[in-house]
Protein backbone atom coordinates (compact mmCIF):
# COMPACT_ATOMS: atom_id res chain seq x y z
CA UNK A 1 0.00 0.00 0.00
CA UNK A 2 1.42 3.36 -1.01
CA UNK A 3 1.83 6.00 1.65
CA UNK A 4 -0.22 9.13 1.08
CA UNK A 5 1.48 12.49 0.82
CA UNK A 6 -0.08 13.65 4.10
CA UNK A 7 1.24 10.60 5.97
CA UNK A 8 4.67 11.17 4.47
CA UNK A 9 4.69 14.79 5.63
CA UNK A 10 3.49 13.84 9.12
CA UNK A 11 6.20 11.20 9.49
CA UNK A 12 8.91 13.60 8.38
CA UNK A 13 7.62 16.27 10.71
CA UNK A 14 7.51 13.83 13.63
CA UNK A 15 11.09 12.76 12.86
CA UNK A 16 12.28 16.38 12.75
CA UNK A 17 10.55 17.17 16.06
CA UNK A 18 12.06 14.08 17.71
CA UNK A 19 15.56 14.96 16.51
CA UNK A 20 15.12 18.58 17.62
CA UNK A 21 13.93 17.44 21.05
CA UNK A 22 16.99 15.26 21.64
CA UNK A 23 19.41 17.80 20.15
CA UNK A 24 18.08 20.68 22.26
CA UNK A 25 20.32 19.93 25.29
CA UNK A 26 23.36 19.68 23.00
CA UNK A 27 22.53 23.02 21.37
CA UNK A 28 22.01 24.60 24.81
CA UNK A 29 25.34 23.18 26.01
CA UNK A 30 27.35 24.53 23.09
CA UNK A 31 25.63 27.92 23.16
CA UNK A 32 26.16 28.29 26.92
CA UNK A 33 29.86 27.55 26.54
CA UNK A 34 30.16 30.75 24.47
CA UNK A 35 28.03 32.94 26.75
CA UNK A 36 28.99 35.42 29.42
CA UNK A 37 27.69 34.66 32.90
CA UNK A 38 25.07 37.42 32.64
CA UNK A 39 23.65 35.94 29.44
CA UNK A 40 23.29 32.43 30.84
CA UNK A 41 20.13 33.21 32.83
CA UNK A 42 18.39 35.51 30.38
CA UNK A 43 14.63 34.96 30.04
CA UNK A 44 13.64 34.12 27.43
CA UNK A 45 16.88 32.22 26.71
CA UNK A 46 19.24 33.75 24.20
CA UNK A 47 19.82 31.07 21.60
CA UNK A 48 21.20 33.61 19.14
CA UNK A 49 22.08 37.26 19.28
CA UNK A 50 24.28 37.13 22.41
CA UNK A 51 27.86 38.37 22.58
CA UNK A 52 30.05 35.29 22.10
CA UNK A 53 33.18 34.89 24.18
CA UNK A 54 36.07 32.46 24.36
CA UNK A 55 36.72 33.23 28.03
CA UNK A 56 35.09 30.01 29.23
CA UNK A 57 37.33 27.88 27.04
CA UNK A 58 40.40 29.95 27.94
CA UNK A 59 39.66 29.41 31.62
CA UNK A 60 39.12 25.68 31.08
CA UNK A 61 42.41 25.32 29.20
CA UNK A 62 44.67 27.67 31.17
CA UNK A 63 43.26 27.61 34.69
CA UNK A 64 41.53 24.25 35.06
CA UNK A 65 44.03 22.61 32.68
CA UNK A 66 41.40 20.45 31.06
CA UNK A 67 44.06 18.92 28.78
CA UNK A 68 45.33 16.79 31.67
CA UNK A 69 41.83 15.58 32.46
CA UNK A 70 41.24 14.73 28.81
CA UNK A 71 44.53 12.82 28.69
CA UNK A 72 43.54 10.87 31.80
CA UNK A 73 40.18 10.01 30.22
CA UNK A 74 41.91 8.88 27.03
CA UNK A 75 44.32 6.62 28.92
CA UNK A 76 41.56 5.02 31.00
CA UNK A 77 39.20 4.62 28.03
CA UNK A 78 41.92 3.15 25.80
CA UNK A 79 43.10 0.73 28.48
CA UNK A 80 39.58 -0.35 29.36
CA UNK A 81 38.57 -0.82 25.74
CA UNK A 82 41.68 -2.82 24.87
CA UNK A 83 41.34 -5.14 27.86
CA UNK A 84 37.57 -5.56 27.51
CA UNK A 85 37.61 -6.22 23.76
CA UNK A 86 40.52 -8.69 23.90
CA UNK A 87 39.10 -10.65 26.83
CA UNK A 88 35.50 -10.39 25.65
CA UNK A 89 36.24 -11.40 22.06
CA UNK A 90 38.27 -14.44 23.08
CA UNK A 91 35.65 -15.37 25.67
CA UNK A 92 32.81 -14.89 23.20
CA UNK A 93 34.54 -17.10 20.64
CA UNK A 94 35.10 -19.82 23.25
CA UNK A 95 31.43 -19.70 24.29
CA UNK A 96 30.20 -19.76 20.68
CA UNK A 97 32.38 -22.72 19.67
CA UNK A 98 31.89 -24.79 22.81
CA UNK A 99 29.86 -27.97 22.36
CA UNK A 100 28.70 -27.97 25.97
CA UNK A 101 25.08 -26.89 26.33
CA UNK A 102 25.82 -25.18 29.65
CA UNK A 103 28.67 -23.20 28.12
CA UNK A 104 26.50 -22.22 25.16
CA UNK A 105 23.89 -20.74 27.49
CA UNK A 106 26.47 -19.03 29.70
CA UNK A 107 26.69 -15.99 27.42
CA UNK A 108 23.46 -14.76 29.00
CA UNK A 109 25.05 -15.17 32.43
CA UNK A 110 27.61 -12.55 31.40
CA UNK A 111 24.77 -10.24 30.45
CA UNK A 112 23.18 -10.74 33.87
CA UNK A 113 26.39 -9.45 35.45
CA UNK A 114 25.57 -6.03 33.99
CA UNK A 115 22.45 -5.93 36.17
CA UNK A 116 24.57 -5.65 39.32
CA UNK A 117 24.43 -1.99 40.48
CA UNK A 118 27.89 -0.41 40.22
CA UNK A 119 27.49 1.05 43.71
CA UNK A 120 27.34 -2.48 45.13
CA UNK A 121 30.86 -3.12 43.79
CA UNK A 122 32.51 0.06 45.01
CA UNK A 123 33.40 -0.83 48.58
CA UNK A 124 34.81 -4.33 47.81
CA UNK A 125 36.83 -3.01 44.89
CA UNK A 126 38.04 -0.03 46.89
CA UNK A 127 39.37 -2.36 49.59
CA UNK A 128 40.96 -4.66 47.00
CA UNK A 129 42.69 -1.78 45.22
CA UNK A 130 43.84 -0.35 48.53
CA UNK A 131 45.39 -3.66 49.55
CA UNK A 132 47.07 -3.97 46.14
CA UNK A 133 48.42 -0.42 46.34
CA UNK A 134 46.59 0.65 43.17
CA UNK A 135 44.41 3.42 44.58
CA UNK A 136 44.81 6.63 42.63
CA UNK A 137 46.23 4.92 39.55
CA UNK A 138 44.86 4.46 36.05
CA UNK A 139 44.98 0.70 36.49
CA UNK A 140 42.45 0.69 39.32
CA UNK A 141 39.76 2.34 37.19
CA UNK A 142 40.69 0.29 34.11
CA UNK A 143 40.28 -2.98 36.02
CA UNK A 144 36.89 -2.04 37.44
CA UNK A 145 35.59 -0.69 34.13
CA UNK A 146 36.77 -3.88 32.43
CA UNK A 147 34.82 -5.96 34.92
CA UNK A 148 31.65 -4.27 33.65
CA UNK A 149 32.54 -3.98 29.98
CA UNK A 150 33.98 -7.42 29.26
CA UNK A 151 30.74 -9.35 30.04
CA UNK A 152 28.86 -7.25 27.49
CA UNK A 153 31.53 -7.93 24.88
CA UNK A 154 31.36 -11.68 25.60
CA UNK A 155 27.59 -11.65 25.08
CA UNK A 156 27.80 -9.54 21.93
CA UNK A 157 30.65 -11.43 20.27
CA UNK A 158 29.38 -14.91 21.18
CA UNK A 159 26.17 -14.19 19.27
CA UNK A 160 28.16 -12.89 16.33
CA UNK A 161 30.53 -15.84 16.21
CA UNK A 162 27.58 -18.23 16.21
CA UNK A 163 26.53 -16.69 12.91
CA UNK A 164 29.92 -17.49 11.34
CA UNK A 165 29.88 -20.86 9.62
CA UNK A 166 32.25 -23.35 11.21
CA UNK A 167 32.79 -24.91 7.80
CA UNK A 168 34.86 -21.90 6.76
CA UNK A 169 37.10 -22.32 9.78
CA UNK A 170 37.38 -26.06 9.17
CA UNK A 171 38.41 -25.37 5.60
CA UNK A 172 41.13 -23.07 6.89
CA UNK A 173 42.31 -25.80 9.28
CA UNK A 174 42.46 -28.29 6.41
CA UNK A 175 44.60 -25.81 4.47
CA UNK A 176 47.14 -25.86 7.29
CA UNK A 177 46.04 -22.92 9.41
CA UNK A 178 46.24 -23.16 13.18
CA UNK A 179 43.16 -22.70 15.36
CA UNK A 180 44.27 -19.17 16.22
CA UNK A 181 44.84 -18.34 12.55
CA UNK A 182 41.38 -19.64 11.70
CA UNK A 183 39.97 -17.44 14.43
CA UNK A 184 41.97 -14.31 13.47
CA UNK A 185 41.75 -14.64 9.69
CA UNK A 186 38.28 -16.15 9.19
CA UNK A 187 35.95 -15.70 12.16
CA UNK A 188 37.10 -12.30 13.41
CA UNK A 189 36.85 -10.40 10.08
CA UNK A 190 33.31 -11.73 9.58
CA UNK A 191 32.36 -10.48 13.05
CA UNK A 192 33.81 -7.00 12.45
CA UNK A 193 30.50 -5.08 12.90
CA UNK A 194 30.02 -6.65 16.32
CA UNK A 195 33.64 -5.89 17.22
CA UNK A 196 33.26 -2.23 16.27
CA UNK A 197 30.00 -1.96 18.22
CA UNK A 198 31.73 -3.47 21.25
CA UNK A 199 34.64 -1.05 20.94
CA UNK A 200 32.31 1.95 20.75
CA UNK A 201 30.29 0.75 23.74
CA UNK A 202 33.43 0.27 25.84
CA UNK A 203 34.86 3.65 24.88
CA UNK A 204 31.65 5.53 25.70
CA UNK A 205 31.09 3.70 28.98
CA UNK A 206 34.62 4.24 30.26
CA UNK A 207 34.83 7.83 28.98
CA UNK A 208 31.61 8.81 30.77
CA UNK A 209 32.34 6.82 33.92
CA UNK A 210 31.95 9.00 36.98
CA UNK A 211 31.38 6.95 40.09
CA UNK A 212 34.33 4.56 39.65
CA UNK A 213 36.69 7.41 38.75
CA UNK A 214 35.45 9.47 41.70
CA UNK A 215 36.37 6.77 44.21
CA UNK A 216 39.53 5.28 42.70
CA UNK A 217 41.45 8.19 41.15
CA UNK A 218 43.83 10.74 42.64
CA UNK A 219 44.16 14.46 41.76
CA UNK A 220 46.69 13.55 39.04
CA UNK A 221 44.49 10.88 37.41
CA UNK A 222 41.05 12.51 37.57
CA UNK A 223 38.94 12.41 34.40
CA UNK A 224 36.84 14.99 32.55
CA UNK A 225 33.55 14.21 34.38
CA UNK A 226 35.31 14.93 37.67
CA UNK A 227 36.62 18.22 36.30
CA UNK A 228 33.04 19.23 35.52
CA UNK A 229 31.92 18.33 39.02
CA UNK A 230 34.76 20.48 40.38
CA UNK A 231 32.95 23.62 39.22
CA UNK A 232 30.19 23.09 41.78
CA UNK A 233 30.56 25.27 44.84
CA UNK A 234 28.41 26.50 47.71
CA UNK A 235 28.75 30.09 46.51
CA UNK A 236 27.71 29.77 42.87
CA UNK A 237 27.65 27.51 39.84
CA UNK A 238 29.94 28.52 37.00
CA UNK A 239 27.67 27.43 34.18
CA UNK A 240 29.89 28.85 31.46
CA UNK A 241 32.97 27.00 32.73
CA UNK A 242 30.96 23.82 33.22
CA UNK A 243 29.56 24.07 29.69
CA UNK A 244 33.04 24.58 28.22
CA UNK A 245 34.34 21.54 30.10
CA UNK A 246 31.31 19.56 28.99
CA UNK A 247 32.13 20.35 25.38
CA UNK A 248 35.50 18.64 25.89
CA UNK A 249 33.62 15.65 27.33
CA UNK A 250 30.86 15.47 24.70
CA UNK A 251 32.57 16.41 21.45
CA UNK A 252 35.04 13.47 21.16
CA UNK A 253 32.32 10.89 21.82
CA UNK A 254 29.88 12.68 19.55
CA UNK A 255 32.32 12.64 16.65
CA UNK A 256 33.24 9.01 17.32
CA UNK A 257 29.59 7.96 17.49
CA UNK A 258 28.77 9.77 14.25
CA UNK A 259 31.74 8.15 12.50
CA UNK A 260 30.87 4.63 13.68
CA UNK A 261 27.09 4.95 13.95
CA UNK A 262 26.38 2.61 11.03
CA UNK A 263 28.53 -0.15 12.50
CA UNK A 264 27.20 0.45 16.01
CA UNK A 265 23.54 0.08 15.02
CA UNK A 266 24.31 -2.92 12.79
CA UNK A 267 26.33 -4.55 15.54
CA UNK A 268 23.74 -4.05 18.28
CA UNK A 269 20.77 -5.19 16.22
CA UNK A 270 22.52 -8.25 14.80
CA UNK A 271 24.15 -9.14 18.09
CA UNK A 272 20.80 -9.04 19.83
CA UNK A 273 19.03 -11.26 17.33
CA UNK A 274 21.66 -13.79 16.22
CA UNK A 275 22.24 -17.00 18.08
Q: Tell me what the mean pLDDT of segment 70-85 comes to.
A: 95
pLDDT over 70 (residue 157): yes
Q: Tell me what the mean pLDDT of segment 149-161 comes to.
A: 86
Return the percentage of the chain with pLDDT > 90, whole number: 19
pLDDT tens-digit series, residues 14-28: 888 888 888 888 888
pLDDT tens-digit series, residues 94-107: 888 877 766 666 66
Q: Are 69 and 226 in contact (CB under 8 A)?
A: yes
pLDDT tens-digit series, residues 165-213: 788 888 888 888 788 888 888 888 888 888 888 898 899 999 999 889 9
Higher-pLDDT residue of 107 and 139 is 139
- CATH homologous superfamily of 65-273 equals MetI-like (1.10.3720.10)
d(CA 239, CA 247): 12
**The predicted structure's pLDDT at residue 275:** 46
Phi, psi of 127 (to 5 degrees): -65, -40
The residues, any chain, with a CB within 8 Å of residue 160's CB and separated by 6 or more, are: 92, 96, 191, 193, 194, 195, 267, 270, 271, 274
pTM of the model: 0.84
**The predicted structure's pLDDT at residue 76:** 95
Chain region(s) in the chain for CATH 1.10.3720.10: 65-273
pLDDT over 50 (residue 272): no
Residue 2's pLDDT band (cuts 50, 70, 90): low
Higher-pLDDT residue of 9 and 265 is 9
Amino acid sequence: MRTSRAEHVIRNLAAVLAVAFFLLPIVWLFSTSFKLQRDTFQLPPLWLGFEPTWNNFAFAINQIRVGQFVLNSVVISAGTTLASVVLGTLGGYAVARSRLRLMSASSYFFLVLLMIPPVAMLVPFYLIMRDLGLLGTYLAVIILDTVYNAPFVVWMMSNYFRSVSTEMEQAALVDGASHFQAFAQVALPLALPGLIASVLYCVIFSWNDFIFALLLTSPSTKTVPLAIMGQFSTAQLQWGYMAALSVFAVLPMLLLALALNRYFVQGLTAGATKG
